[in-house]
Amino acid sequence: MIIRSWLFVPGDSERKLAKGRDNPADALILDLEDSVSDDRQEIAREMVRDYLTAHPDRARQQLWVRINPLDTELSLPDLAAVMAGAPDGIVLPKVYSADDVNTLAHYLSALEAREGLPPDSTKIHCVSTETAASLLTFHTYLDGVSDRLAAMTWGGEDLAAALGASDNRNPATGDYDDVYLMAKSLCLSTARAIEVQPVGVVYVDFRDLEGLEAECLRDRRAGFFGKIAIHPAQSDVINRAFTPSEEEVAHAQRVIDVFAQNPGLGTVGLEGKMLDMPHLKQARNVMAVVAQIKGLG
Ligand code: COA
Ligand code: MG
């Protein structure tokens, strides 16, 4: 299953947890980090574990957990509590390099054994750009990272704090400043280089669904797949934006067919346009995405 929408749900909110399960998001991220206050960490852990245990069927919607950063004393108790509920994956914030992902992978191996879960069944989605160091260590993912790593996203808010910035956007245009666009580009290119899913960053203005849709389409054009949501109304918009349209699918099929009918040719014409290998690859990508989206394939 390929995940289009990843909805964050604060782990200590009974109301929001209850709402999450009926939401069309392909995955929920039950949050133990920034949306939970310091004095509610323990209760959030228990609520998240109970929620996972109460919802073992993940066929329509996966359940992931964002733990606290590995360099805090909260992360191990987070993991020790929630692994009993067999989360589909762990979202790891504030990484410094691929070492953090590999460290988490070792912890998961031990906890999977303790819980009697299949080895390597718990995946990892890392938030790859929340520390200053993270911008300088993307190459470490190419030196060997755990196969558990399934997705990678970026973030501009914690990074701004880490860089000592007072703002991360140009006040005149609202566009991200250069360093955040670099972070975004490094996340995309690294994720594609190691064949994990590059996931678009949160769109914080949660009442502006048109703006969200436009940003989803921009992300998708650039190569990202899927987006983080923070409000239930965002999931539908994200799902739609990352589902290939009927026209796209029909076109992809025509491209595949024309190459199949002309074996041995590296370049062919279709509807007055030249097609070569990159077009065939794109068409196959569209069909692979469709096959992996539940209910379409
Ligand atoms: N997941 C599930 N349900 C949610 C939700 C979420 N992320 N965000 C809001 N809801 C629920 C609300 O509880 C409300 O339901 P209710 O009336 O039964 O209580 C309904 O959806 C409508 O919410 P709304 O009034 O439009 O928003 P809000 O002002 O209550 O909340 C936020 C706004 C941003 C605080 C809220 O969306 C939120 O907590 N988002 C997640 C934040 C987060 O996890 N951040 C960390 C990652 S960056
Ligand atoms: Mg944060």
CA-nearest of 47, 59, 137, 63 to 94 is: 137
Mutate to test the pocket of ligand 1, among 31, 153, 231 (most ligand atoms within 8 A of CB): 231
> In angstroms, what is the span from residue 204 Cα to ligand 2's centroid?
12
Please give the distance, rounded to the nearest whole angstrom, from the Cα atom of residue 179 to the centre of ligand 1: 30
* Alpha-carbon 248 to chain mean position: 23
In the DSSP assignment, the letter for residue 201 is P
84 Cα–ligand 1 center, Å: 26
Identity of residue 99: D
Report whether residue 20 contacts ligand 1, using a CB cutoff of 6 Å.
Answer: yes
What lies within 8 Å, CB to CB, of 74 at 6+ separation is: 32, 41, 67, 68
**Residue 9: CB within 6 Å of ligand 1?**
yes
245 burial (CB, 10 Å; 0-12 / 13-18 / 19+) is exposed
CB atoms within 10 A of CB 76: 14
Q: Which structural domains are found in the chain, ordered by start? A: 5-241 (3.20.20.60), 246-294 (no CATH)
CB 10 within 8 A of CB 48: no
Q: Is the Cβ atom of 35 under 6 angstroms away from ligand 1? A: yes
* Tens-digit pLDDT string for the chain (297 aa): 789 999 999 999 999 999 999 999 999 999 999 999 999 999 999 999 999 999 999 999 999 999 999 999 999 999 999 999 999 999 999 999 999 999 999 999 999 999 999 999 999 999 999 999 999 999 999 999 999 999 999 999 999 999 999 999 999 998 999 999 999 999 999 999 999 999 999 999 999 999 999 999 999 999 999 999 999 999 999 999 999 999 999 999 999 999 999 998 899 999 999 999 999 999 999 999 998 886 553
What residues have a C-beta under 5 A from ligand 2, the ion? 34, 158
